[in-house]
Amino acid sequence: MRYPDVSLSEARKRRDASRAQIAPGADPAREKQRENTRAKLSVDNTFEAIAAEYCAKRQRDGENGWAQSTVVRTESLLTRLNASIGRLPIGEIEPVDVLAAVRKIEARGKLESARRTLQLASLVFRYAIATARLTSDPTRDLRGALTSPTVTHYGAGPAQAHLRESGRAFASRPHCDIIRRPPHQRRDPATLIQPGRERFTAVIRQPSSGKKIAAHVLDRDYSLAASCGGLSAGCRA
């Protein structure tokens, strides 16, 4: 700008400010560029806005992208924080603000939801750090602040016991072969299992010809997992 857009006194103030920056070795042009960058980033820098941006980014993350159901579930949990910290600039949020917000969820007896919401909030803060809008995660020192939910483990019921007996009876029949294969080789939906678990196929063969006439998929404890009476593709050797 030039005179008369900028008064002489204002021009002198700017000159003195530039000289003060040059004295310790700073570059006034670089400092001005940084100020413009900070101003641009702070236009829409609330927790709510960055949380929405993070969810959208995770959905676009190629092979590791979130499924739509995961996005909906995550947004539902993060929305519970909007009333408390949603409209606050993310750089002004303190640990006590986050703790007060998640404890409102905890106070309603939603212990697991409170724990999961705190975890998701931490992911949003870490995303803000990665995108140069925050210097530290305010949730990092909140570990152990929430009450842990009680996990109830249930034993096998009568139905599970019956499946185990049926599976063992089938596997002990004459002419029964046990076929163990890696999970990635099983194409039938009945044989697709969680990582770390083991299943195998018990096959009954016709004594005279050796032809397979029946098969069941069994868990490691011989519980009946699926029947392959018609010998579907996943039960064939």
Determine, yes or no, domain membership for 142: no
Q: What mean pLDDT do residues 102-126 have?
A: 95
The pair of structure tokens assigned to 64 is 């590791």
pTM exceeds 0.75, yes or no: no
Determine, yes or no, domain membership for 119: yes
Q: What mean pLDDT do residues 129-157 have?
A: 84
As a whole number of angstroms, the distance between CA 181 and CA 178 comes to 10
For residue 172, pLDDT over 60 is answered with yes
Determine, yes or no, domain membership for 152: no
More confident of the two residues 126 and 163 = 126
- Who contacts 200 (Cβ-Cβ below 8 Å, separation ≥6)? 178, 179, 180, 181, 217, 218, 220
Regarding whether 65 and 22 lie in a shared domain, the answer is no
Regarding whether 125 and 108 lie in a shared domain, the answer is yes
Regarding whether 29 and 84 lie in a shared domain, the answer is no
Backbone angles phi, psi at 46, to 5 degrees: -80, 160
Regarding whether 51 and 126 lie in a shared domain, the answer is yes
**Residue 65, domain extent:** 47-130
As a whole number of angstroms, the distance between CA 55 and CA 236 comes to 43
As a whole number of angstroms, the distance between CA 4 and CA 154 comes to 81
- Per-residue confidence band for 183, with pLDDT thresholds at 50, 70 and 90: very low
Contact 98, 118 (CB under 8 A): yes
Regarding whether 170 and 107 lie in a shared domain, the answer is no
As a whole number of angstroms, the distance between CA 217 and CA 235 comes to 7
Separation in Å, CA 179 to CA 216, 225, 231: 10, 15, 13
CB atoms inside a 10 Å sphere around CB 160 = 15
Determine, yes or no, domain membership for 149: no
86: domain CATH number is 1.10.150.130
Regarding whether 78 and 27 lie in a shared domain, the answer is no
Regarding whether 182 and 111 lie in a shared domain, the answer is no
Regarding whether 71 and 53 lie in a shared domain, the answer is yes
Q: What mean pLDDT do residues 82-88 have?
A: 93
Contact 226, 190 (CB under 8 A): yes
* Strands of the chain, DSSP E: 176-180, 199-205, 212-219, 224-227
Query: For residue 61, what is the DSSP state?
Result: S
Regarding whether 225 and 166 lie in a shared domain, the answer is yes
Q: What mean pLDDT do residues 39-51 have?
A: 79
Q: Total structural domains in the chain?
A: 3
Specify the pLDDT at position 232: 41
Determine, yes or no, domain membership for 34: yes
- Per-residue confidence band for 129, with pLDDT thresholds at 50, 70 and 90: very high
Regarding whether 117 and 54 lie in a shared domain, the answer is yes
